[in-house]
Structures are given as C-alpha cells and as structure tokens.
C-alpha cells in the first residue's frame, strides 16, 4: 500500500472505525477490487455498505491535501523564478 492510500485508510478508519474498514476491505477483495486502494475500489464498497458519509469525509480531506500540495509547488516555482531572474 502506498503512502497516500495509507493516509486515506487512516482517515476512513477514524471516521467509520478500523473494524468496519477492515470488513470493507475484505468485501472489496471478494468482489475482485483492490483492497489496498481507496478510490474506485474500497470507496465503492463503503458507499454501498455504510453510505456516503465516510466516502465524502475521505474525499474532502484528499481534495484539501492536493490543493495544499499544488499551492506549495506553486510557491516553490515562484521562488525559483525570482532567484533565476536575479
């Protein structure tokens, strides 16, 4: 499991409980989905089994994380451009 998915499963476990997420991963594997990937895999089983709350919670956190990463990258590029112009 990659670092991003570890974080996503940690947030899902915080929201829905670690035992429930373990069960959802097992259901995903039984359906031929990857139990080590949240998006488009365990996320689908979670939405069907326990509703959209946990799915939306994890999705919102991921959106903020990606936005933060993009902002940091943009700041880095601006700093590099200023240094190159000097």
- Token pair for 41: 């895999």
The answer to whether 1 touches 38, Cβ cutoff 8 Å, is no
Question: What pLDDT, in 10s, does the model give residues 5-41?
Answer: 999 999 999 999 999 999 999 999 999 999 999 999 9
Contacts of 33 (CB under 8 A, 6+ apart): 41, 42, 44, 45
Q: What is the pLDDT of residue 41?
A: 97
Which of 3, 4, 36, 9 minimizes the C-alpha distance to 21? 9
Query: Which tens digit of pLDDT belongs to each residue from 47-62?
Result: 999 999 999 999 999 9
Whether 4 contacts 39, CB under 8 Å: no
Domain boundaries, the chain: 3-85
């Amino acid at each position: 499991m990659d670092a991003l998915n570890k974080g996503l499963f940690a947030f899902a476990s915080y929201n829905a409980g670690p035992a429930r997420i373990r069960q959802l991963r097992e259901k995903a594997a039984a359906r031929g989905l990857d139990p080590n990937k949240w998006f488009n895999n365990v996320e689908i089983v979670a939405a069907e089994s326990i509703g959209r709350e946990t799915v939306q919670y994890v999705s919102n956190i991921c959106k903020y994380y990606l936005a933060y990463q993009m902002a940091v990258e943009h700041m880095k590029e601006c700093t590099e451009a200023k240094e190159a112009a000097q």
